[in-house]
Structure 1
Amino acid sequence: MQRLALFFGALALMLAGAGSYLVANLIANYIETSTKNAANLVLSEEGLDWITLRVDGISVSVSGAAPTESARFKALIALKRVINADQIVDSIAVVEPDDLHPPKFSLELLRNGDGISLIGLIPETTGSASILGAIEGIDGKTDVTDMLETTDFPAPEGWSEAVDFALASLRSLPRSKISVAPGQVTITAISNSRAEKARIETELEDARPDGVALVSNISAPRPVITPFSLRLIKDDLGTRFDSCSADTAAARDRILAAARKAGMADTTDCTIGLGAPTPHWADAVDLAIAALNELGGGSVTFSDADISIVAPDSLGQNQFDLIIHNLEQALPEVFSVHAILPPKPALEGTAVKSEAFEFLVTKSPEGLVQMRGRSRDERTKTAINNFAKALFGSENVHDTTRIDSAIPDGWPVRVLTGIEALSKLHHGSLLVTQTMLELRGTADKEEAKTEVTQLLSDKLGENSYYQMFVNYEEALNKAALLPSPEECVVRINTILAEKQIDFAPSSTRIEGEAVEIVDKIAAAMTDCDEVAMEIGGHTDSQGRETMNLTLSQARAEAVLDALLRREILTTYLTAKGYGEIRPIADNKTEAGRKANRRIEFTLIVNDDPSDTGGEPETDAPATATEGADTQTETAPKTTTKESDKNGQD
């Protein structure tokens, strides 16, 4: 009995010990978990995700790579809010600056009608203030949203050059997104036309700094083509397009592939535009080109849904009928075909009836036009003569046509249409006969052949037969040789750098040496008449502010009037007086006051001449200082624009 009591006593002690151990472990685990959870919560709130915790009983080991000593100190302070300081074992290592990887710098410039937005991470050496200063004045009517962040790392190679190029490009792209990375600029923008798209791409490439890669995506709205036309010729000279239109990129590729199958070897492109008469345009063109190739040559012309085919005169009638019949059966319903098989040429020695009527017009490279041939009556002759003078200029037209009442019906329409087509060429000749209209010459616009094809197809109708031999010479394209707006301002800068305009004290009269300077400026502006510029007048600070403002306005208007009297188009010029509010030098010295008394030509960013409200937006760096007085400025009491119009100029 005594042994049994001892056994149960020992068992009770063992159970009590085991229970105590188990409870102690549970309490320790709870304390460790609670401590770790509380510490992790604090670290998460502080954004200290680089710390690693290990809890062992009441001891908490803290490790990790702190970016700075202050970050390490911040972590320890945060932990001490939930853990006793003597429980923390600090194993945090501070990373040396050389061990930190530089961030990925980027800059996004977004510009539209609502304003300009700046987004990205940039070096502190660049700074948002310098970028804001660079875009100041680009678009004064809209807001700038600054969402830039900076970091204390040196700018990587190619960063500064890319940023400068992007900011300069932003000035000329009112609807654009520009992305900047070290050594690379990506520009996405919208232009108003294909010509403007080509100009923007050329200017961007010319301005691109060495070592900076440019990725450009400039889009242009598709033109409306009316009539929607296409003309393909296959003869001894080869297979070629006079005009090519497509409604989609896929249609363009299909049409060009069909032309290559028919023997076209060059890299002619098709204009993608709006106005196709049916979604099946490419189907019809593909079938018609294949039929032309089967005919062995000739020409095929589309004017909307009307198709005209002229076969070679060597083709047999039965074969011609079969090919045209098969084409008509295969075409989509909306299309109609008018096919012509010219008569075979007469054999040698056989009498040939010559053309009874013809009308010949020639246009020389100098623009002189000579007309000879026949008109039905005096009224028709006068109408043709007046039409030619309206197109080419009265002094350039020499008319030797004669009256013939036997002229067939439709003759005036063919002649007038041909003359209008000839006006689209730089020089060439037009021959109109009873059965054919032939146009030959050289164009100074790349799109001239397409325009002529559309004109002839639209006005002559599908039953008319015409031939066109037109080539394009880029050297004659005046538009391609026109200076850019910036180059126009540089021209004026160059003239004024040699000699400035001087106004007499308190005067707005342009006289003496100033007349010669204005003459030179007018000569430099002959091909810059559509460049929007502001003529700004400025004074020094002597005299009353309101009177100086009046004087500066009158002087700016005097320069504008002087250019107008020299037959310079002033539609895009604006005169504005600023008085003394924009000095460029110290008004406390005579030299400074002389520099401040000036006229400036400034390029207007918003070049809408109809927008006359408010202060024009200007591109400040593109200025030309015109002149300065050598006397103290005081505004005349009675000087106005009207009172000085009779002064010598």
Structure 2
Amino acid sequence: MRISNYIPTLVAFLFAAVIALFGANLSSRAIESTSESAVAKQLKLEGYEWVNVEADGLQVVLTGTAPDETKQLAAQRAAGHIVDPARVINVMDIETQAKIVAPRFSIEILRNDEGISLIGLVPTAWPRDVFVSDLKSAASTGSVTDLLEHADYTVPDMWDAAMEFGLEAITLLPRSKISLSADSIIVTGLADSADQKRRFERALDDKKPSRLDVAINISAPRPIITPFTARFLIDETGPQFDACSAETVQGQARILAAARASGIEDPSCVIGLGSPTTDWARAVEAGMRAVQDLGAGSITFSDSEVSLVGTSGLSASLFDKVAGELEAALPAAFTLYTTLPEPEDNVSTDAVQFVALRSPEGQVQLRGRIGDERSQIAAEAYAKSAFGSNTIYSALRQVDGLPEGWSIRALAAIEALSKLDNGSVTMQPTSVRVRGRTGDVTAKASITQLLADKLGSGQTFDIDVDYVRQLDPILDLPTADECVARANDVINANKIVFAPGSTEVDESSTDTLDRLAKALDKCEKMEMEIGAHSDSQGGEDMNLSLSQARANSVLNALISRRIVGVDFTAKGYGEEQPIADNDTEDGREANRRIEFKLLGGDAPQDGQSDQTTDTPPAENNENETPNE
């Protein structure tokens, strides 16, 4: 049989194979498309939009980035519900997980009469046992309840500084709660008195870390005020309080609102115990309105007694009208006394008086009139007990016919003087005048309470007392000379460093500048010169210019540290004031220096001169600037 007879059959078979192959391909593509579409739709319905679906023959390939391993497996299972799970190929990535953030470490220290308790979370690597031991030693107690948890993370920056401050605070405050962390500190405590409260606050403020947010809230019990006093006056300087007491927070707010309305910019009023009536604030408000209606004068509340005093030359009809309206407005518990002084032309210039004076050095003089020998001995003995027996000079003169109660009022004048650092108290039959300076913020109110109690109703007293921060023993402010000495001591111990030929303070001196800022923090109302000096290498003009630029650089560094109490002046002296031999390296090193000097004061003492250096040390070079 010829081969040609098989050709048609062979062709038929080949054609059938091609048709079958083409059909299989179409069927495979249809399956791929159907599977891909069905799986993609299902995944989208279940919220897995981040999955990419591709069909490869009978296999379904899942790609994309899963948020986590759980979501990755869930997406794979969802695809397996649509097609045979064996056909699902999982090549999905998992999103890189962020580094686990360390927990916020903190300690809350509670201290009372029973001991100390610790609550919080601390780093495992932190020496907790040492801290607890230090707490026991600092607070002088063996009772420390440790309820701290720990976690194995790096100790945060400033954690040790916060813990050190916590030890200082818990030592100072026997009743307190102190919250410590690496970014903030909150101190809450109780003090026994207003003075102790101020001491606590000042001590903590001095010790607090500069780079931490520190909140200090010390509370003191309300003082017992006897007599309960308020005194408002208007004179040539404007409206003011000599003393102000309030019985409640609401009463304080009412009085302060009235004070601001009268023109007092920053009034203050002490909340205390001892008010004679719940209508105290309403009565004080009415009294303040009366003085404003007069335009000048004073109103004094001493417990339930009220004294309205006009000024010499005031219209009698206006005074009577205002006094009548005030008497009607005052609550029933109060008794009003009024005084309108005679015109000054009718006042005798030969007034009887008792005068007590105290000098800035602490010496006290008593002069004027006293009733008898017994009263004189009593006044001098009282003054010696108040000021010291070696400080009293008495020039009292015994006379008859003095007003009733003169001796008692003389003792009140001496007591008022004891509240001043220096000043005078002048007592006349119908008035007392107090002048002076004090470092006690409560002195003016105390003197007002004292005179209101001792003088009685209808008496006129004038208090002109200035509070001077430098005299406040609690603030412990240094003198101007002490400030200069402190600054020079700091830079004697740690030199201010400049890079060779540079006018900018080197970073290595940051700690020295911080110490300078702390040393000058309490200095107030003074002018200080920052003097920069060079050696004799280089040209004279170049040395002068370089030293001036370096003095300016130190000035800017201190200004940036907010030293508000000192007015700095920068001055470059160049090579004109050497303190050592410029022919030796040690001498040149000594001559390159910064000096602090009180403007108008004495020059720095010996030993306060060698304060700056260059780093690194420069080798001898003809082209070097004078401080290189």
Q: What's the offset of the Cα at 1:65?
A: 8.1
Q: Which residue of 2 aligns with 1:480?
A: 475
Q: Which residue of 1 aligns with 2:195?
A: 195
458, 465, 468: which is aligned to 2:463?
468
> Which AA in structure 1 matches 2:103?
P
Contact kept? 2:251, 2:281, Cα under 8 Å = yes
Q: Which residue of 2 aligns with 1:319?
A: 318
Q: Secondary structure in 1 aligned to 2:137?
A: coil
Alpha-carbon distance in structure 2 between the residues aligned to 1:158 and 1:375: 66
Shift of the 237–144 alpha-carbon distance from structure 1 to 2, 3 Å rule, reads same
Q: Which residue of 2 aligns with 1:111?
A: 111
> Which AA in structure 1 matches 2:459?
S
Which runs of 5 or more structure 1 residues have no equivalent in the other structure?
1-63, 68-92, 484-649
Matches within 5 A, 1:23-38: none
* Structure 1 vs Structure 2 CA RMSD: 2.9
Q: What's the offset of the Cα at 1:299?
A: 0.9
Contact kept? 2:259, 2:267, Cα under 8 Å = no
> Which AA in structure 1 matches 2:467?
Y
Q: Which residue of 1 aligns with 2:308?
A: 309
Q: Which residue of 2 aligns with 1:397?
A: 392
Shift of the 116–245 alpha-carbon distance from structure 1 to 2, 3 Å rule, reads same
Matches within 5 A, 1:519-598: none
Q: Secondary structure in 2 aligned to 1:137?
A: helix
Q: What's the offset of the Cα at 1:94?
A: 12
Shift of the 375–167 alpha-carbon distance from structure 1 to 2, 3 Å rule, reads closer
Q: Secondary structure in 2 aligned to 1:138?
A: helix
Alpha-carbon distance in structure 2 between the residues aligned to 1:146 and 1:390: 51
> Which AA in structure 2 matches 1:467?
D
1:273 aligns with 2:272: yes
> Which AA in structure 1 matches 2:445?
T
Bigger mean CA deviation after superposition, 415-424 or 199-208: 199-208
1:416 aligns with 2:411: yes
Q: Which residue of 2 aligns with 1:180?
A: 180
370, 374, 379: which is aligned to 2:369?
374
Identity across matched positions, percent:
40
Contact kept? 1:123, 1:153, Cα under 8 Å = yes
Alpha-carbon distance in structure 2 between the residues aligned to 1:377 and 1:159: 70
Shift of the 297–196 alpha-carbon distance from structure 1 to 2, 3 Å rule, reads same
> Which AA in structure 2 matches 1:299?
S
1:449 aligns with 2:448: no
Q: What's the offset of the Cα at 1:141?
A: 3.9
Contact kept? 1:355, 1:434, Cα under 8 Å = no
1:165 aligns with 2:165: yes
Q: What's the offset of the Cα at 1:229?
A: 0.9
Q: What's the offset of the Cα at 1:297?
A: 0.9
Q: Which residue of 1 aligns with 2:227?
A: 227
Q: What's the offset of the Cα at 1:310?
A: 0.6
Q: What's the offset of the Cα at 1:298?
A: 0.6
Q: What's the offset of the Cα at 1:433?
A: 2.0
Q: Secondary structure in 2 aligned to 1:366?
A: coil
Alpha-carbon distance in structure 1 between the residues aligned to 2:136 and 2:68: 42
Deviations 1:381-429 (A, max 9, x none): 3333333333333333333333322223222222222122122222222
Q: Which residue of 1 aligns with 2:286?
A: 287
Deviations 1:106-131 (A, max 9, x none): 32211111221111222212253343
Alpha-carbon distance in structure 1 between the residues aligned to 2:385 and 2:468: 25
1:386 aligns with 2:385: no
Shift of the 144–95 alpha-carbon distance from structure 1 to 2, 3 Å rule, reads farther
Q: Secondary structure in 1 aligned to 2:475?
A: helix
Larger radius of gyration: 2
Deviations 1:341-380 (A, max 9, x none): 111233xxxx764445222332222222333322333333
Alpha-carbon distance in structure 2 between the residues aligned to 1:101 and 1:402: 83
> Which AA in structure 1 matches 2:299?
V
Q: Secondary structure in 2 aligned to 1:409?
A: coil
Deviations 1:204-250 (A, max 9, x none): 23222233211222211111111111112211122111112122233
Alpha-carbon distance in structure 2 between the residues aligned to 1:247 and 1:66: 67
Alpha-carbon distance in structure 2 between the residues aligned to 1:411 and 1:459: 11
Contact kept? 2:439, 2:467, Cα under 8 Å = yes
Shift of the 240–149 alpha-carbon distance from structure 1 to 2, 3 Å rule, reads same
> Which AA in structure 2 matches 1:332?
P
Bigger mean CA deviation after superposition, 295-304 or 96-105: 96-105
Shift of the 154–331 alpha-carbon distance from structure 1 to 2, 3 Å rule, reads same
Contact kept? 2:231, 2:300, Cα under 8 Å = yes
Q: Which residue of 1 aligns with 2:263?
A: 263
Q: What's the offset of the Cα at 1:328?
A: 1.2
Q: Which residue of 1 aligns with 2:332?
A: 333
Q: Which residue of 2 aligns with 1:213?
A: 213
Alpha-carbon distance in structure 2 between the residues aligned to 1:447 and 1:425: 11
Alpha-carbon distance in structure 2 between the residues aligned to 1:390 and 1:160: 49
Q: Which residue of 2 aligns with 1:432?
A: 427
Q: What's the offset of the Cα at 1:458?
A: 0.9
> Which AA in structure 1 matches 2:183?
G
Deviations 1:596-634 (A, max 9, x none): xxxxxxxxxxxxxxxxxxxxxxxxxxxxxxxxxxxxxxx
Shift of the 422–160 alpha-carbon distance from structure 1 to 2, 3 Å rule, reads closer
Shift of the 360–164 alpha-carbon distance from structure 1 to 2, 3 Å rule, reads closer
Q: What's the offset of the Cα at 1:132?
A: 2.1
Q: Across the two proteins, how many residue pairs are aligned to each other? A: 392
Shift of the 357–180 alpha-carbon distance from structure 1 to 2, 3 Å rule, reads closer
Q: Secondary structure in 2 aligned to 1:480?
A: coil
Alpha-carbon distance in structure 2 between the residues aligned to 1:156 and 1:416: 62
Which runs of 5 or more structure 2 residues have no equivalent in the other structure?
1-66, 71-92, 479-628
Q: Secondary structure in 2 aligned to 1:323?
A: helix
Q: Which residue of 2 aligns with 1:154?
A: 154
Instruction: Give TM-score, length-normalised by structure 1.
Output: 0.56
Q: Secondary structure in 2 aligned to 1:338?
A: strand
Shift of the 285–132 alpha-carbon distance from structure 1 to 2, 3 Å rule, reads same
Alpha-carbon distance in structure 1 between the residues aligned to 2:225 and 2:442: 12
Q: What's the offset of the Cα at 1:456?
A: 0.7
Alpha-carbon distance in structure 1 between the residues aligned to 2:315 and 2:147: 76
Q: What's the offset of the Cα at 1:340?
A: 0.8
Alpha-carbon distance in structure 1 between the residues aligned to 2:161 and 2:179: 13
Q: Secondary structure in 1 aligned to 2:108?
A: strand
Alpha-carbon distance in structure 2 between the residues aligned to 1:264 and 1:183: 39
Contact kept? 1:224, 1:275, Cα under 8 Å = yes
Contact kept? 1:307, 1:462, Cα under 8 Å = yes
1:299 aligns with 2:298: yes
Q: Which residue of 2 aligns with 1:126?
A: 126
Q: What's the offset of the Cα at 1:95?
A: 11
Alpha-carbon distance in structure 2 between the residues aligned to 1:237 and 1:284: 24
Q: What's the offset of the Cα at 1:98?
A: 5.5
Shift of the 156–340 alpha-carbon distance from structure 1 to 2, 3 Å rule, reads same
Contact kept? 1:296, 1:312, Cα under 8 Å = no
Q: Secondary structure in 1 aligned to 2:218?
A: strand
Contact kept? 2:198, 2:474, Cα under 8 Å = no
Runs of 4+ in 1 over 4 A off after TM superposition: 64-67, 93-99
Alpha-carbon distance in structure 2 between the residues aligned to 1:188 and 1:66: 48
1:359 aligns with 2:346: no
Alpha-carbon distance in structure 1 between the residues aligned to 2:101 and 2:351: 88
Deviations 1:251-306 (A, max 9, x none): 223212212222323x2422222111122211111110011100111111111111
Deviations 1:19-46 (A, max 9, x none): xxxxxxxxxxxxxxxxxxxxxxxxxxxx
Q: Which residue of 1 aligns with 2:527?
A: none
Contact kept? 2:202, 2:475, Cα under 8 Å = no
> Which AA in structure 2 matches 1:453?
T
Shift of the 343–213 alpha-carbon distance from structure 1 to 2, 3 Å rule, reads same
Alpha-carbon distance in structure 2 between the residues aligned to 1:393 and 1:211: 46
Contact kept? 1:122, 1:149, Cα under 8 Å = yes
Q: Which residue of 2 aligns with 1:342?
A: 341
> Which AA in structure 2 matches 1:228?
F
